[in-house]
Structure 1
Amino acid sequence: MTPQLSEFPLFDTHCHADFDTFEQTIALDKGIEGYVKEAKQAQVDKLLIPSIGQSNWRKLDEIAQSHPNVYYALGFHPYFLEQAEDEQFLELRQLLSSRTSQCVAIGECGLDFFVDVDRDKQERFFIQQMELAKAFELPLIIHERKSYNRLIELIKQHKFTLGGVIHGFSGSEQQALAWIKLGFYIGVGGTITYPRAQKTRTTIAKLPLECLVLETDAPDMPMHGNQGNVNHSKHLVTILNELILLRNETKQSVAAQMWQNSHRAFGICE
């Protein structure tokens, strides 16, 4: 798929540009340098990279130091919790204490009841990350799969009010509005480019525009027509264009609102 170009600046609020996948898939430049360059050529001016665990916390900090347009989040992804230890929260707290302005959230965290990872451990780590987010006044980037009710319950129980983004949303309008009521933005990704994803497409078409942000989840979640290939932030405009079609609003108004929302969600100055 040849990347389309955007007429407006875009912000990919969720990509894993640090993954080794991109060392082999970028033709001209390898690794993060090539990734950022290709994204920029497609008008994706800013990126946010969530961590998956201790294995890439320091790597993301190093990337951000070299790229002022790259932001990041620190946390424990529920999918990778089997190797995680409670003692690692000490290092996470230390990194958050010395963080720069480019560390803008806790995440990617959450609950994934589809994978075979102990649920008690998932909940324990999520609760601890909520508490860290409160201590450092940071939003959350939440991964949710088959766990909507429990996540809502925990967030209310622990009185978390700093909001964040529900990554890769594919639920109902009722669920989306519940998240929005709790102060969260809805992450809109490649799912809406699939004609068969009618529930998600219909929901996204109805939600308040000021509560949406765009994301690719690269290298995962490729767009319709690009299945089986590595996803990339340079394809973000494909999601923008589909969102415009779904909502029947002008490209300029939608693009401008997405840019504004992305900054507001993470407390970033435009």
Structure 2
Amino acid sequence: MLIDSHCHLDFADFTPDREAVIARAEQEDVSAFVVPATTVASFPAVLALVDSPARIFGALGLHPYFLSEHGDDALAALHQALDQHAGQVVALGECGFDARLADHDAQWQLFEVQLSMAREFSLPVIVHCVRANDEVAKRIKQARLTRGGIIHAFAGSQVQAERFLELGFVLGLGGSVTYPRANKLRGVVASLPDDGFVLETDSPDMPLCGFQGQRNEPSRVAKVADVVAELRASSRHDIALSTTTNVQRILQLNV
């Protein structure tokens, strides 16, 4: 069994054929999906998916990319939703920091408050981190979280990877690792411990090599598994087994 530890099945991109997308994933032995919210407006859709027949697990958070959409009451709304849906939510996320975006101070403030909430509710964190691995790791350490989490779409160095692992996090591996030019990342992937990573697609974004320009889908987490298996001189079966175990441990999933 494979788990897509990060996909946005709530996005409108999947409205026309969401059930077919899930069915295609299941045909590739992808049997569970983690869907992180990005804005307060997305909370109802994510929570509705959690109640669906498929094995879909939801997380609630405020993504830095949508900073302009997070009104003054967004953090209060997140806190209320985490409290109200404590039994339905497996993590706080997607939250984090993106150095490509503006308003760095506001991004950091938003991230730090969410880390504080994660500690309050004893939730793991799904972290969006772009070109800021060292600073994100520093702030995670300062937050003194009770649980770890997942560094989504990790693309850092060996040293940065080891630091996140020491903080109780695992690294999310997705489309980026499928590109032959990603030599540094592929080298890190080859040397990670078996309990240090999970698989993801970030559907509908982050297309895999060979699928550029196409909508990404959770079914392709199987192709990510194949690439990771090749880099680690392993098999898809073993990669599926270890990464499923890792997601279950980090997010305390009952699958």
Q: Distance in 2 between matches of 1:46 and 1:149?
A: 31
The alpha-carbon deviation at position 254 of structure 1 amounts to: 2.0
Partners of 2:97 and 2:14 in 1: CA distance = 27
What corresponds to 1:222 in structure 2? 207
**Is contact 1:164-1:183 (8 Å) kept?**
yes
State whether structure 2 residue 197 is matched by structure 1 residue 212. Answer: yes
Corresponding residue number in structure 2 for 1:236 = 221
Cα distance, 1:146 vs. partner? 1.6
Deviations 1:245-270 (A, max 9, x none): 10012333222111111111101123
Q: Given the alignment, which residue of 11, 14, 25 partners 1:19?
A: 11
Cα distance, 1:80 vs. partner? 0.4
Q: Distance in 2 between matches of 1:153 and 1:56?
A: 29
CA distance in 2, matches of 1:102, 1:166: 21
Quote the offset at 1:180 in angstroms.
0.2
Matches within 5 A, 1:16-95: 16-23=8-15, 30-95=16-81
CA contact (8 A) 1:20 1:31 kept: no
- Preserved contact between residue 10 and residue 259 of structure 1 (Cα < 8 Å): yes
Match of 2:121 in 1: 136
How many Å separate the matches in 2 of 1:146 and 1:178?
Answer: 15
With 37-46 and 126-135 compared, the bigger mean Cα shift is at 37-46
Alignment partners' CA distance in 2, 1:56 and 1:31: 18
Asked if 1:181 corresponds to 2:166, the answer is yes
TM-score (norm 2): 0.96
Confirm or deny that 1:160 pairs with 2:160: no
* Cα distance between partner residues in 1 of 2:30 and 2:116: 32
C-alpha distance in 2 between matches for 1:61 and 1:191 = 28
Q: Deviations over 1:174-223 (max 9, x none)?
A: 10000000000000111111110010001000010111100001111111
For structure 1, the residue ranges without an aligned partner over 5 or more in a row are 1-8, 24-29
Contact conserved, 1:14 with 1:50, CA < 8 A, in 2? yes
Do the aligned partners of 1:133 and 1:140 also contact (CA within 8 Å) in 2? yes
Q: Aligned to 1:230, what secondary structure does the other structure show?
A: coil
Instruction: Tell me which amino acid in the other structure corresponds to 1:130.
Output: L
Distance, in Å, in 2 between the alignment partners of 1:101 and 1:42 is: 29
Q: CA deviation at 1:102?
A: 3.6
Q: Report the identity percentage.
A: 36
Offset at 1:31? 4.1
Q: What letter is aligned with 1:62?
A: A
Structure 2 residues not aligned, in runs of 5+:
none
Query: How much does 1:37 deviate?
Result: 2.0
TM-score (normalizing by structure 1)? 0.90
Letter of the structure 2 residue corresponding to residue 98 of structure 1: Q
RMSD: 1.4
Q: Find out whether 1:257 has 2:242 as its counterpart.
A: yes
Aligned 8 A contact 2:37 2:59 in 1: yes
Structure 1, residues 27-52: CA drift from partner, whole Å, max 9, x if none? xxx34323222221221100011111
> Contact 2:37–2:94 (CA<8 Å) still a contact in 1?
yes
Alignment-mate amino acid for residue 152 of structure 1: A
Q: Do the aligned residues in 2 keep the contact of 1:219 with 1:231 (CA within 8 Å)?
A: yes
Distance 1:153 1:251 in 2: 34
